[in-house]
Structure 1
Amino acid sequence: MKDFSRKIYTNIRLKLKGAFDAISNENIKSNILQAVPFWIASIITGLIAVLYTKMFALSESIRGWIFHSHSWLFFIITPVCFIISWWVVAKFSPYAKGSGIPQVMAAIELSTPRYNSKIKKMLSLPVIFVKIISSLIMTLGGGIIGREGPTIQIAGSIFRKVNEWLPAWYPKISKRIMIMTGAAAGLAAAFNTPLGGIVFAIEELTKTHLSYFKTAIFTAVIIAGLTAQGFLGSYLYLGYPQINALSWWIFSVVIVVGAVAGFLGAYSSRVVLLIQKWKSTFKFQYQHILYLVFCALLIASFAFFFSADSIGSGKDLMVKALFTSEKYTAWYMPVLRITGTIFSFTAGGAGGIFAPALSAGASIGSLVSGWFNLNGSDANIIILCGMVSFLTGVTRSPFTCAILVLEMTDRNNLIFHLMFAGLVASIASLLVDKHSLYHHLKDQYQHELMHEDDEKPQQTAGDIKAGSGT
C-alpha cells in the first residue's frame, strides 16, 4: 500500500514538475527578471515622493506662519531664498533647475550609450538632492512653484540609477523605457493620479506605441501610487467640489474660459522663453543676482500689498475657490499668479509649473465666473475648466490635463466639459506658438548639452554657469 501511494505521489510530482518546466521557460523568467527593477524603483519613488510632499508642505507652513506674523520680513527672506536656491543649482547640478520635465524629455531622446554622460547630468543622484533642497528653499521664500515637475525628474533619476546598478549578467532593459516609466510613476505619486501618469507618458513623453512598455508602466504607476497612498492615505489632491445638475448652456462659458486661459497659458510660456533668451546674454554672476533680487522683491510686493494667495504653489487658492462661497476672485489675482509664476520659474532655482499653472487657471476660471454671475456648482465647473485650459496652454497636452483634474476631484460627470475646455485651449494656444514650453526647453537643454565641450574653453574660471533659470 505504501509503495502504491509513493508511486502515485511520484507520478503527481513528476507531472507537476513537467508542467512547471513547461511554463517556466526562458522568456517568462526573463520577463520576471526585467519587471523586478521596475518594482524596486517604483517603491523607492513612492517613498521619496511621500517624503518630498511632507517636506514641501512643511516649508509652505513655515512660510505661511512667518508671513502672517511678520509679513515685512519677506522683503528680506524672499531675495535671500531665491539667491540660495539659484546658487545651490548653479554650483552643484545646473540641470536640476526648473521643472524637470523638459530634462526628462531630453534624456529620453538622448537615451543611447553615446550620450550616457550627458543624460547623467540631467538624471542622477545629485540631481535628486539638489532638486529637493533648491525647491524647498524657494518655497520657503514664497516662490510660485510646485513639486510635481521636480518629482518627475526625481523619479526618472531613480529609475535610471536602478537600471545602471543592474549587474552585467542581468537581462537588458531599455534606458528609454526605464526613464519614461519613471516619469509616469513620479507624476502618479505626486498627484495621486495613476491614469494621469499613464496618459502623461503616452501624450507628453513619447511617440512610442504603448504595447512596447505597457506592462512596465502600468505596474510602476500602480506600485508608486500605492506606496505613496500607504503613507499619505487614499486622498484626492483637491477633494470633492460640489457639482450638481449639468446644463448644456454652460458649454458657452466653457468656450470663453478655455480660449482665454489657453491663450494666456501659451503667452506666458512665450514670455518665459523671451526672458530666458535675454538671460542667456548674461556674462557675469552679479547680473543673475540682480535679476533674482528683482524677481524676489516683486513677488514679496505681490504678497505684502495685495494678497498672500499670490505666492506659493496656489493649492490654497484652488481649495478656497472650489470649497467656499468666495467664488469670485479680484481682477488682479490672475495677473499676479501668472506674473509671479513667470518670474519664479525664470529665477534659476528648482521648481515645477504644474501646480502654479493649475492655480493660475483656477483664478482665471473664478474671474470668468464673476463675469457671468455664476454660483455654486456652475462656478466650480468653470474654475475646473480654467485649470485644464491654462495647463493645456503651457503643456499642449489637453487629454493629460483633463485626466489629471478629473482624478484630482473625482468628478467623472465633468469629463466632457474638461476635455472640451482642453480642446478649445489647445486651439487658442496655437495662435501664440505651435509648440509647448516643455518642447522648447527640451530643445534648449539638448542644444546646451551638445555644445558644452565647444563652449568650455571660452569660459573663465570665475564664471558660474547659472543657465537661463528654468
Structure 2
Amino acid sequence: MNPDVNSDEILHSIHKEAVDWRAWAGRVLVMVFAALAGLTVVAFTWMTELAFGVFEQMQQNYWWSPLLWTPLCTAAIVWVMRRYAMGSAGSGIPQVMAALDGSVAPADRSLFVSVKLTITKMVLSTWGLLAGLSLGREGPSVQIAAGVMHHARRWLPDKSQVSEHGLMMAGGAAGIAAAFNTPLGGVMFAIEELSRKPEQRSSGLLLAAIVLSGLMAVSIYGNATYFGVIEVQNLSPALLVPGLVVAVLSGLAGGLFARVLLVSIRGDSGDRFSRWRKRSPVAFGAACGLVIAVIGLVSHGDTFGTGYAHSRAMLEGNDDTSPIYVLLKFMATWITAWAGVPGGIFAPALSIGGALGNDVAQFMNYANAPTLIALGMVGFLAAVTQAPLTSFIIVMEMVAGHQLVLSLMATAVVASGVSRLLCVPLYSALAQLQLQRLPKADSA
C-alpha cells in the first residue's frame, strides 16, 4: 500500500469536508435550534414557577379557594385541550416515542410533535400548576423541546445527514437535560428511552445538541438542583437492610403507581368512573380537580404542585412530614393524570420516593435520613419509568460526593426489576395508546 496515496486521500477527504458549506450550515442550524430548545425549556420553567407561586399566594390568603379554583381550572384545561390540542395531553414523553415509531408517516408526526403542541403544552401545563394540580414539568419539557428541534428540519439543507428522527430524539433528550440541569441525564434518557436506530446513539452532532440544551439551563440557573444538594454522611454496613427495604418498597409502590395510572388512562376496565370519563371528560376533570383540592387541604398544601419545596424542606430537616404524605401525594398525582390534563410525573415521583425513604428512616430509626431519601427518590422514579440509568443519573447529580453512587445504582436496578413484576413499561404502553390516534388508513 502506497503511503503517499493514503495521505492524498486523507487530505482530499479533509478538504472536501471543510468546503462542504451545506454540511456546516446544517450543523450550525442544529446547534442553534438546540440552544433555542434549551432556552424554551428555561422559559417554561420560569412560567411554571411563577404560576405556582401565584397559586400558593392565593391559597395562603384564602385557604378555601382551591375548592373552587382547582376544579374550575381543571375543567377548563380539559376543555381547551380536547378542543384545540389533544396531542398535548399527559406527560409528553409517550407522544415523542410515538412520533419516533417507524410506522408513523412523516405527515402524521405533527399529531405528536409540533410547534403548535409546544406552545399549547407550555400554556396548559403552566395553567395546571396555576390550578395547584400535582404534576411535573419534566415530561412536558421533553415534548416541548422535541417540537422545537423537529421544526429545524424545515430549514436544513435537502442533503443534510441529520434525520427527522434524530432531531426529535435529540429534542426529547434535550428537554430532560434542560429541565433537570443535567446534560448527562439527557444523553442517557436518549439512549434508554428514545433511541430507535443505532446511528442515533453514536451521532456526535446530536449528542452535542443535547449537551448544549442542558448547558442553556446550567448557564442561567447554575448547577443547583431543584431538590437541593443531598449531604451523605459516612456510610456503613448498617445501610444494607434499610437500603434494601427502600429499594423493594419503592419498586412495589412505583410499579403499583404505574399500573394504576395505565389502567386509568386506558379506561377499558368498564367501571363507572371510566365510563363517566369517556362520556363527560370535562365534568370528570372538574370532579378530579375537586378531589385534588380536598387532598391538598388535608395535607396542609403539601400535595399541591410538583413537590419540589416539600422535598427540599425534608432534605434540610425543616419539614415535619406527615406519615400519610406518600399516600396523599400518590393519590393526587394519579388523579391529576387521570383527569387528562397536560403534565408530567417525574417531579411528583421524586417527591413520593423521597418521602417513602424518609418514612423508612423514621420507622427503622436510621440516623442518616437523607441517604434513604435519596435512595427512595431513585427507586420510585426508576420503578415508575422503568428507566433505571436515567433515574440514577438524575438523582446522582443531587448528591454531594460519590459515596452513594453504587447504592443509588443498585436501588434503581432492584426497584425497576420489582416494578416489572407488576406493570409493563409505562411510557411504551402509553406510546401505543398515542398511536391509536393515527388516521385509520395510516394505522392499518
TM-score by length of 1: 0.86
Equivalence map 1:344-423=2 (5 Å): 344-375=336-367, 378-423=368-413
Q: 1:28 to 1:436 in 2, by over 3 A?
A: farther
Equivalence map 1:247-266=2 (5 Å): 247-266=236-255
4+ runs deviating over 4 angstroms: 18-22, 279-286, 452-455
Which residue is equivalent to 1:163? 153
Which residue is equivalent to 2:70? 78
Query: 1:263 Cα deviation (Å)?
Result: 1.1
Which residue is equivalent to 1:289? 282
Find the partner of 2:292 among 278, 299, 302: 299
> 2:161 & 2:83 partners in 1: Cα distance?
34
For the Cα contact (< 8 Å) 1:361–1:391, is it kept in 2?
A: yes
Secondary structure in 1 matching 2:403: helix
Give CA-to-partner distance per residue, 1:106-160, whole Å, 9 cap, x none: 1111376xx1122111111110111011111111111111111111101111111
Which residue is equivalent to 1:24? 15
Equivalence map 1:96-111=2 (5 Å): 96-110=88-102
Q: 1:161 to 1:67 in 2, by over 3 A?
A: same
Q: 1:27 to 1:346 in 2, by over 3 A?
A: farther
1:137 and 2:127 correspond: yes
Give the aligned residue type for 1:369.
A
The unaligned stretches of length 5 or more in structure 2 are 1-8
Give CA-to-partner distance per residue, 1:295-328, whole Å, 9 cap, x none: 11111111212321111100011101111254x6
Secondary structure in 1 matching 2:302: helix
Which residue is equivalent to 1:246? 235
Which residue is equivalent to 1:331? 323
Secondary structure in 2 matching 1:156: helix
Which residue is equivalent to 1:229? 218
For the Cα contact (< 8 Å) 2:78–2:281, is it kept in 1?
A: no
For the Cα contact (< 8 Å) 1:282–1:288, is it kept in 2?
A: no
Query: 1:27 Cα deviation (Å)?
Result: 7.8
Q: 1:67 to 1:250 in 2, by over 3 A?
A: same
Query: 1:430 Cα deviation (Å)?
Result: 2.1
Give the aligned residue type for 2:83.
K
Give CA-to-partner distance per residue, 1:375-430, whole Å, 9 cap, x none: 3xx21111111111111111111111011111134442211111111111012112
Give the aligned residue type for 2:303.
S
Query: 1:286 Cα deviation (Å)?
Result: 6.2
Equivalence map 1:173-192=2 (5 Å): 173-192=162-181
Secondary structure in 1 matching 2:437: helix
Which residue is equivalent to 1:462? none
Give the aligned residue type for 1:199.
M
Query: 1:364 Cα deviation (Å)?
Result: 0.9
Which residue is equivalent to 1:431? 421
The unaligned stretches of length 5 or more in structure 1 are 1-17, 456-470
Which residue is equivalent to 1:318? 311
Query: 1:26 Cα deviation (Å)?
Result: 3.8
Q: 1:230 to 1:133 in 2, by over 3 A?
A: same
Find the partner of 1:448 among 434, 437, 441: 437
Query: 1:20 Cα deviation (Å)?
Result: 8.2
Secondary structure in 2 matching 1:109: coil
Q: 1:254 to 1:452 in 2, by over 3 A?
A: farther
Query: 1:98 Cα deviation (Å)?
Result: 0.7
1:149 and 2:135 correspond: no
Report sequence identity in percent: 31
For the Cα contact (< 8 Å) 1:191–1:408, is it kept in 2?
A: no
Give the aligned residue type for 1:25.
K
Equivalence map 1:214-225=2 (5 Å): 214-225=203-214
> 1:287 & 1:163 partners in 2: Cα distance?
39
> 1:185 & 1:286 partners in 2: Cα distance?
37
> 2:440 & 2:78 partners in 1: Cα distance?
23
> 1:286 & 1:429 partners in 2: Cα distance?
32
For the Cα contact (< 8 Å) 1:261–1:390, is it kept in 2?
A: yes
Which protein has the larger Cα radius of gyration, Structure 1 or Structure 2?
1
Range with bigger deviation, 18-27 or 81-90: 18-27
Give CA-to-partner distance per residue, 1:229-260, whole Å, 9 cap, x none: 33323322322222110112202211111111
CA RMSD of aligned residues (A): 2.4
Which residue is equivalent to 1:460? none
For the Cα contact (< 8 Å) 1:78–1:296, is it kept in 2?
A: yes
For the Cα contact (< 8 Å) 2:276–2:284, is it kept in 1?
A: no
Q: 1:74 to 1:189 in 2, by over 3 A?
A: same
> 1:347 & 1:126 partners in 2: Cα distance?
22
Give CA-to-partner distance per residue, 1:7-66, whole Å, 9 cap, x none: xxxxxxxxxxx9987632148836534422320111111111111111110011111111
1:59 and 2:51 correspond: yes
> How many residues of Structure 1 are paired with residues of Structure 2 in the alignment?
431
